[in-house]
Amino acid sequence: MINAPVPEQRNTLLMQSLPGFRDFLPEDCRRNYIFARWREVARRYGFVEWDGPPLETTELYKKKSGAEIVEQLFNFTDKAEREVALRPELTPTLARVVAVHEREFKKPLKWFSIGQFFRYEKQQPGRLREHFQLNCDIIGEKHLAADIELVALCIDVLRAFGFTEKDFIVRISDREFWTDFFRDKKVPAERWEDLLQAIDKSAREPREKTAEKLGDLADPIFATLKSGGKSAKLEQLVEGLRARGLADFVAVHVGIVRGLAYYTGIVFEVFDRAGKFRAIAGGGRYDNLISQLSDDTLSLPALGFAMGDVVLGELINEIPRTREAMQKSIANDSRIDIYVVIAKEQRRANALAQIQQLRDRGYRIDYPLTQTKVARQFQAAEDLGARIALLYGDEWPQVKIKNMATGEQELVPGEKLGDRVAELL
């Protein structure tokens, strides 16, 4: 018989977050820092923001990834007896939305999304049961220029955090390189996917195990992996990035084929140069997926990549330069512009009226909600990083302004306060 937890134990369990889930406290709300740079760079590239629901039918994910995906889902039967799941990724939702709405938009679509995703799997370094993720996709363009643009976007997203070519590398490959290889070797098409999976895992598994999976193709495939392979398409992609000054961030690595079967062409993964972390980002071309998920009612070429916040956050913290930039930005964002010191309670109504006017102008302002000693109010102004303090007391209808950095003070008539604050800030 299992003993039930005593009330104290139950209360402790209720106060803990679930395994693999995170609390974001104000002083460590790095996700806003990450989101802001994701959004800024995606918009710089002409991408527009969209999102889908966090809950979809389980069948949508099974249709893309097979029945085995259910083991990785937070899925349940809802009150209407529908089988549903929290989204583990965005691509199936994107394909569904595009299939329904594609006539409403000119092509190519350049869409990005920032959302939370869930996978019921064992926690590992760099992988939790929930994470936030940037997704960037181009729909309706088959030309290699789209692949070059997408890789460039991925590079610039990471550069926005202060990373350089010494910090990360984008390894690019092409699934068509291998399918052409298989055709030349007269390998039956039904073997291709198993061979691609073996190649994808070859860097992480013992050579003997990979050789066993590759069979009679082991020697030529190992030789190709060693030599790096030759691909005119990949060379063209690298030259396209070189023209933008980004070639030092990429390397052709034909061993990268991505484990997901729906990729059809160029694929890439991003790793830290030190090799300490899991992949930072990954993506590629999936020209057949929209057709597959829409039961062939719509066929559009497509490509995209995803970048999660967990590994990215770890890498930011790993490098002093990027960690300090993040900490400085978070500190600046948490600062307020003005702290209002109410020295005389009789002046609270006057202070609140002007607080409202200044907030309407866009200033970040705080003040004591209840009667508080003046010294404690100035300490609060310091703690909150206020640039100036406004003091309402015996000087009214004048207001005393204190520069919190220099200590300088001046008296300003109440009716001219807004203009003077604008000059100071």
- Residue 415 is part of a domain; what is its CATH number? 3.40.50.800
Same domain assignment for residues 194 and 291: yes
pLDDT of residue 10: 57
Same domain assignment for residues 225 and 183: yes
Same domain assignment for residues 238 and 296: yes
Is residue 342 packed enough to be buried (19+ CB in 10 Å), middle (13-18) or exposed (0-12)?
A: buried
**Beta pairing, strands 266-272 & 338-342:** unpaired
Give the helix, strand, coil percentages of the chain, each rounded to 5.
45, 20, 35
Range of the domain at 32: 18-52+90-327
Within a domain: 79: no
Neighbours of 392 (CB within 10 A): 27
Pairwise CA distance, residues 49 & 255, whole Å: 33
- If one counts the domains in the chain, the total is 2
Within a domain: 316: yes
Same domain assignment for residues 227 and 278: yes
pLDDT of residue 308: 96
Is the sign of the CA dihedral 210, 212, 213, 216 positive or negative? positive
Same domain assignment for residues 276 and 292: yes
| Residue (of 97, 120, 92) closest to 20 by Cα position | 120
pLDDT of residue 9: 57
The three-class DSSP label of residue 328 is helix
Same domain assignment for residues 294 and 355: no
Instruction: Tell me if 421 sits within 8 A of 363, measured CB to CB.
Output: yes
pLDDT of residue 3: 56
Within a domain: 65: no
Within a domain: 13: no
Same domain assignment for residues 286 and 183: yes
| Residue (of 197, 58, 69, 56) closest to 121 by Cα position | 69
Is the previous residue joined to 413 through a cis bond, with omega within 30 degrees of 0? Answer: no
Same domain assignment for residues 126 and 239: yes
Is the sign of the CA dihedral 204, 206, 210, 213 positive or negative? negative
Within a domain: 195: yes
**Beta pairing, strands 365-366 & 338-342:** parallel
Same domain assignment for residues 272 and 402: no
Same domain assignment for residues 357 and 252: no
Q: How far is CA 115 from CA 150, 292, 336, 351, 392, in A?
A: 19, 24, 28, 40, 44
Within a domain: 323: yes
Within a domain: 366: yes
Report CA 192 to chain centroid distance, whole Å: 32
Boundary residue ending a domain (296, 327, 358) = 327
Boundary residue ending a domain (327, 350, 377) = 327
- Residue 394: phi, psi to the nearest 5? -65, -15
Over the chain (425 residues), what is each successive 10-residue block's mean pLDDT?
54 77 81 95 98 95 87 94 96 92 94 96 87 97 97 98 97 88 83 82 80 82 79 94 97 78 89 95 93 88 96 96 94 93 97 97 97 97 96 96 96 95 95
Same domain assignment for residues 101 and 176: yes
Residues in CB range of 395: below 8 A, 6 or more apart: 411
Within a domain: 341: yes
Q: How is residue 262 written in tokens?
A: 């729906």
Q: Residue 134 maps to which CATH number?
A: 3.30.930.10
Where are the alpha helices (H) located in 104-231, listed in sequence order?
Answer: 144-159, 175-184, 192-201, 207-214, 218-227
Same domain assignment for residues 176 and 109: yes
**Side chain identity, residue 294:** S
Boundary residue ending a domain (277, 293, 327) = 327
